[in-house]
Structure 1
Amino acid sequence: MKKLVFIAFLILALAGGAAGYFFLTDNVRPVIALSPDNDVAAPKREFTLTLGDAGSGLKNVKVTVSQGDKQITLADQSYATPVKEAVEKFSLEPAGLKDGPFTLSITATDRSIANFGAGNTVRIEKQLTLDTIPPRIEVTSLAHNVRQGGVGAVSFNLSEDCESAGVLVGDELYPAYKLENGKYFGFYVFPYDMDPKTFVPKVKAVDKAGNAAIMSFRYQAIPRKFRDDKLNISDNFLESKMPQYYNTITDTRDNLQIYLRVNNDIRRQNAVFLHELALKTAPAMLWDRKAFLRLPNAAPRAGFGDHRTYFYQGKEIDQQTHMGVDLASLEGAPVPAANSGKVAFTGFLGIYGETVIIDHGLGLQTLYAHLRQIDVKEGQDIKKGEILGRTGVSGLAAGDHLHFGVLVFGHETSPIEWWDQHWIDDNILNKL
């Protein structure tokens, strides 16, 4: 019996040893991914090295550059314990390279005892060119007059094709697009809540190597004052409107608390969604260059930029800003597309309720909210004046109306400008 136990133990030990041997001598080599993976580079551009080894784990990684008879180590990282994944960052700045070709070498080794204990090694070499010269920017458009809460446009030439280009306002870059005539064109926003003194738009371009150039241009910032408004939130309003959000907010049935979370948390979520949707904009102008249509025979109920203070039972409970224009005509009025484009979104969207968003290209979109009926589908091409739905009271609407918004890269801006052909001619089309 003891002999059988010993044999069984020996078999298990041998099996374990064999498994350990095969683990330590795995044939899986490390995987290396480099970003950005361009053929040109600038000294200060940061590279990200993503490493992985599904077998015995990473042991070390080394990054070197060579130019002529000069070789410099930029990174040499050893891992004390097996690592399945790792991310390392480096730049070329410490190497002191000159403009021109150089070689980038990356070597990664795992902890296997293969190759007489040296491990599996993978090495990649890339031939790159160092470029320290930023692109040259030539602003070609004139008379950039921008109202607070409104939109501006600029056109410019670049000395080379770039990785990114656009208008920098504060910390946000509004992308520009290269047109068929070779010029770049871009919309930008004068945010409603930005101090006119700090509104300083500039053209920014980053070439494929990572060199950045910034160019000022002449502009006129036109300040604007926005209306203050007071709204009373009634129990009848809460009881009729909050059930729409019971499937979204499930941890309470206190209608006032639900309302506050919708008016704040969901409002912020909607803003993020609008910014993300704008990234899918068409890289060409889809509208007909004529003034945008307004809901026919409609009276304005609320304006863009209205600062609202909300009260419940005589007590202030919240403050928000109304982004868009509310228009009311007949109950269930047909809503025409303000201009031609492609339907980018249809469905229920938080504070807006049943909503349609049309993409007009180059970051320009229009939003139609609080609908009772939607008659178009996502991805559908739509013509100016085509009926997309009917007005309603969905979302946070207190009465039947259309919330109409004009968005530039997800930022709601004053729609009134886009109803004015003279403004479009002077501020948009002249830049083309």
Structure 2
Amino acid sequence: MKKLVFVFFLILALAAGAAWYFFLTDTVKPEIALSPDSAVAAPKREFTLTLKDAGAGLKNAKVVVTQGDKQITLLDKAYTMPVKAAEEKFTLEPAGLHDGPFTLLATATDRSLANFGAGNTVKLTKNATLDTIPPRIDVLSLAHNVRQGGVGAVSFQLSEEPESAGVVVGDDFFPAFKQENGKYFGLFVFPYNMDPKDFVPRVKAVDKAGNTAYATFRYQAIPRKFRQDRINISDNFLDSKMPQYYNIITDTRDNLEIYLRVNKELRKKNRAKLHDLAMATAPTMLWDKKAFLRLPNAAPKAGFGDHRTYYYNGKEIDQETHLGVDLASLEAAPVPAANSGKVVFTGFFGIYGNAVIIDHGLGLQTLYAHLREIDVKDGQEVKKGQIIAKTGATGLAGGDHLHFGVLVFGHPTSPVEWWDQHWIDDNILNKM
């Protein structure tokens, strides 16, 4: 028994010795980074201090700002337990600085016993300038008449080069782009599902220091009433359509359950992907300023904004909104590009089946869905009227047709506006 106790304490002593040796010989300094890495900053701009230590762990972090004879501590964080990584946020606001140069000094110390127990310390110094003056916005375009589910455009000038600029509608931001004439031009959407009284578009500009400015402009919100539609889901439809999604929804083979998840969950993922694809937009207009083409000799089967209630065996099972125009002519009809642009997506796209998305610049994109055949590739430049595909019945289509959608930064809008040259002239081109 005494021997076992001796062995236990020997192991404990060796472990303690090893730990002591590790802490004593850990000479690797912590890693430290500060973002954003901007030469100017506003008082409310949030900085992030990123810290790492692969050795003994972090002990403390500190940030001090100096301006002239003034020195203020903005962050003083002690870690009671060893921490391998941390992010600390702070602003300059508590320091009460005046416009002009300042210096930030960030330090981090680990828990090692190196340097006679003081630990390893790393320092980061950043020189920058405080700027409290927001950019000045001058809206240049005049009357803005925007229909619910439709698009508006605005042009404006800024007093300085911004970090970002565009139009805010509710919680959504629609970027604007600087054009060759020095003006900023942007498209924005009056969402189909927004109450007209909540539609209050404003120009927003953030300068490189982080100062934010807003500007209002004259606009008229034009409400719309959307059609109500009833869709009956049959077993034949489920049996023929749901196998497309077996490799996406793998935990059930109940076709009705798959349909409900496709129509709800996959639809949301498709919408999110449309927003992601919008980031690939060109900063200039790629289309020819003329009315967009529609599928030739095609009769509309469903309109934009149709509110659909779905029934199965006489029972309501779901509700969704149709966010495009369905056009049908002949089976496997050739599909022309509605206007010139660059292909940013081809392939199977959830509820839309086989699809093509073309970017026309400035956040404007067109969607061609339920295709039987695709004749273009990602990254390909296409001309207006060029045949890009053939109509089909892939995805959730009940028959051969083209689902044609128009998107502005991933937000669905009414395609009908873009088929009207008069509307384009008055509401888009005149604003440039």
TM over 0.5: yes
Using the TM superposition, give the Cα deviation of residue 242 of structure 1 relative to its aligned residue in structure 2, in angstroms.
Answer: 0.6
Cα distance in 2 for partners of 1:312, 1:183 equals 53
Corresponding residue of 1:232: 232
- State how 1:288-303 maps to structure 2 within 5 Å: 288-303=288-303
Counterpart of 1:89 in 2: which secondary structure?
strand
Corresponding residue of 2:195: 195
Counterpart of 1:101 in 2: which secondary structure?
strand
What amino acid does structure 2 have at the position aligned with 1:119?
G
1:403 matches 2:403 = yes
Cα distance in 1 for partners of 2:380, 2:23 equals 55
Corresponding residue of 2:422: 422
What amino acid does structure 2 have at the position aligned with 1:179?
Q
CA deviations on 1:159-178 (whole Å, 9 max, x unpaired) are 00111110010111111111
Cα distance in 1 for partners of 2:14, 2:168 equals 66
Backbone CA RMSD of aligned residues: 1.9
Counterpart contact for 2:346–2:356, Cα < 8 Å: yes
Corresponding residue of 2:267: 267
What amino acid does structure 1 have at the position aligned with 2:334?
P
1:312 matches 2:318 = no
Counterpart of 2:242 in 1: which secondary structure?
helix
Counterpart contact for 2:304–2:324, Cα < 8 Å: yes
CA deviations on 1:334-363 (whole Å, 9 max, x unpaired) are 000011111100011110000000011111
CA deviations on 1:200-244 (whole Å, 9 max, x unpaired) are 100000111111100000011111111011111111111111111
1:215 matches 2:215 = yes
Counterpart contact for 2:343–2:356, Cα < 8 Å: yes
What amino acid does structure 2 have at the position aligned with 1:318?
D
State TM-score, norm by structure 2: 0.96
CA deviations on 1:167-206 (whole Å, 9 max, x unpaired) are 0101111111111111111000000111111111000001
1:119 matches 2:119 = yes
Counterpart contact for 1:283–1:361, Cα < 8 Å: yes
Cα distance in 2 for partners of 1:344, 1:145 equals 30
Cα distance in 2 for partners of 1:19, 1:82 equals 14
Corresponding residue of 1:28: 28
Cα distance in 1 for partners of 2:177, 2:354 equals 31
**Structure 2 runs not aligned, ≥5 long:** 1-5
Corresponding residue of 1:105: 105
Counterpart contact for 1:24–1:56, Cα < 8 Å: no
Using the TM superposition, give the Cα deviation of residue 16 of structure 1 relative to its aligned residue in structure 2, in angstroms.
Answer: 7.9
Using the TM superposition, give the Cα deviation of residue 11 of structure 1 relative to its aligned residue in structure 2, in angstroms.
Answer: 12
Cα distance in 2 for partners of 1:277, 1:105 equals 40
What amino acid does structure 1 have at the position aligned with 2:70?
K
Cα distance in 1 for partners of 2:386, 2:20 equals 70
Counterpart of 1:361 in 2: which secondary structure?
coil
Cα distance in 2 for partners of 1:249, 1:219 equals 45
Cα distance in 1 for partners of 2:15, 2:241 equals 68
Using the TM superposition, give the Cα deviation of residue 287 of structure 1 relative to its aligned residue in structure 2, in angstroms.
Answer: 1.0
Corresponding residue of 2:244: 244
What amino acid does structure 2 have at the position aligned with 1:149?
G
Counterpart contact for 2:299–2:328, Cα < 8 Å: yes
What amino acid does structure 1 have at the position aligned with 2:234?
S
Counterpart contact for 1:293–1:337, Cα < 8 Å: yes
Using the TM superposition, give the Cα deviation of residue 29 of structure 1 relative to its aligned residue in structure 2, in angstroms.
Answer: 1.2
Corresponding residue of 1:3: none
Counterpart contact for 1:24–1:111, Cα < 8 Å: no
Corresponding residue of 1:90: 90
Cα distance in 2 for partners of 1:20, 1:392 equals 72
Corresponding residue of 1:352: 352
Between 1:14-23 and 1:135-144, the stretch displaced more is 14-23
Using the TM superposition, give the Cα deviation of residue 28 of structure 1 relative to its aligned residue in structure 2, in angstroms.
Answer: 1.7
Corresponding residue of 1:379: 379
Cα distance in 2 for partners of 1:194, 1:154 equals 20
Identity %: 78
Counterpart of 2:230 in 1: which secondary structure?
strand
Q: Tell me the number of residue pairs that the alignment of Structure 1 and Structure 2 aligns.
A: 428
**Structure 1 runs not aligned, ≥5 long:** 1-5
CA deviations on 1:115-139 (whole Å, 9 max, x unpaired) are 1111111111111111111000000
State TM-score, norm by structure 1: 0.96
1:179 matches 2:179 = yes
Counterpart contact for 1:135–1:206, Cα < 8 Å: yes
Using the TM superposition, give the Cα deviation of residue 24 of structure 1 relative to its aligned residue in structure 2, in angstroms.
Answer: 3.9
What amino acid does structure 2 have at the position aligned with 1:138?
D
Counterpart of 2:258 in 1: which secondary structure?
helix
Counterpart of 2:370 in 1: which secondary structure?
strand
What amino acid does structure 2 have at the position aligned with 1:370?
H
Using the TM superposition, give the Cα deviation of residue 25 of structure 1 relative to its aligned residue in structure 2, in angstroms.
Answer: 2.4
Counterpart of 1:74 in 2: which secondary structure?
strand
* CA distance 1:14–1:255, shift in 2 (3 Å): closer
Corresponding residue of 1:160: 160
Counterpart contact for 1:44–1:93, Cα < 8 Å: yes
CA deviations on 1:280-331 (whole Å, 9 max, x unpaired) are 2112211111111100000000000000111111111111100000000000
Counterpart of 2:21 in 1: which secondary structure?
helix
Using the TM superposition, give the Cα deviation of residue 415 of structure 1 relative to its aligned residue in structure 2, in angstroms.
Answer: 0.3
CA deviations on 1:59-108 (whole Å, 9 max, x unpaired) are 10001111111111011001111111001111111111111111111011
CA deviations on 1:341-399 (whole Å, 9 max, x unpaired) are 11100011110000000011111100000001011110111111111110000000000
Corresponding residue of 2:325: 325
CA deviations on 1:237-276 (whole Å, 9 max, x unpaired) are 1111111111111111111111111100000110111111
Cα distance in 2 for partners of 1:48, 1:16 equals 36
Runs of 4+ aligned structure 1 residues displaced above 6 Å come to: 9-16
